[in-house]
Amino acid sequence: MRILAVRLIFLDAVYYAREGLSAAVTPTVLHGTALNGAFSAATNELVARQSFLTFGQDGGANVPHYVDSRFSPKFYATPARSIGSVRYRAEVAKGDSEGFVEINLRGPTRELKRIDSRVQPLKYRKLYFLAPECEFLGFLIVVDESWRPPELIRLGSFRSPVRAEYVEAVAWKPIATRAIADHPVDPLISDVARGVIVNMLPYGVVENAAATPAVEIKFRKPCKGLGKSTCILAWPTGYAMPGALERIRGRDATVFM
């Protein structure tokens, strides 16, 4: 087993918000479902045995059915939070999901006119993307050491490229008592007693989560974004709790941030 800190660097603008959820602004947390799916797709490990998205029997909108956010038994990626401040970039998008578009007439009454989208099919609005070079930090548990983490993944509604850099923990030890995790926690993966819910799709994750059990992990030098070399990882259910371990790997097996 290996435990890695993962720094994600956006090479292009990334968008994964939805209308009605913080307007159209992309939140500054990457969901575990998105990250595990991206790592799986990048390494051809799409072996999930659950239905993430199915059609309702009444023919309505899709309804997600989640067991949890894991895609493969070989690894698990925690949700990630932004490093420092983020920058947004506005992009203009078009669509006709509502069936109508609205335009302002320049007459003296300044009335609002609705036009059938079959006549005027394009509807424009602004979407706020996270700008290139934004950075996020999360953690990766590698259960099968033959699995190699990818250097490039794709995230968001438009599959934007993201570079992944890793640093491996050199030591860890279990914490039996409740501890505050140094990463957003997926409540379907770890046992969370309290914290702050971050509302996002497909379901909220928990910041400043008091989780049990947890693992204290140590790196050779402080992780960028945390400013410390010792971190707390909320341990996911379904994995055997690791015992204390001291392990030093050579430079050829570790990429430092």
CB 140 within 8 Å of CB 171: no
Residue pLDDT, tens place only, 102-140: 444 444 555 555 554 455 455 566 778 899 999 999 999
Residue pLDDT, tens place only, 33-63: 899 989 998 998 766 555 555 555 554 555 5
SS3 of residue 36 by DSSP: helix
Give the C-alpha separation, 34 to 148, whole Å.
18
CB 223 within 8 Å of CB 257: yes
Mean pLDDT of 79-98: 77
Q: How far is CA 78 from CA 9, 50, 123, 181, 183, in A?
A: 16, 19, 36, 11, 7
Confidence at residue 47, expressed as pLDDT on a 0 to 100 scale: 63
Binned at pLDDT 50, 70 and 90, residue 223 comes out as confident
SS3 of residue 72 by DSSP: coil
Question: Quick one: tokens of 199?
Answer: 């509302």
Give the C-alpha separation, 91 to 127, whole Å.
5
SS3 of residue 107 by DSSP: coil
Q: Residue 209: is it exposed, middle or buried by C-beta count within 10 angstroms (0-12/13-18/19+)?
A: buried
Residue 219: count of CB within 10 angstroms of its CB: 22
Binned at pLDDT 50, 70 and 90, residue 100 comes out as very low
pLDDT at 77 over 90: yes
CB 169 within 8 Å of CB 3: yes
Angle at the Cα of 42 from the Cα atoms of 39 and 48, rounded to 5 degrees: 60
The residue type found at 165 is E
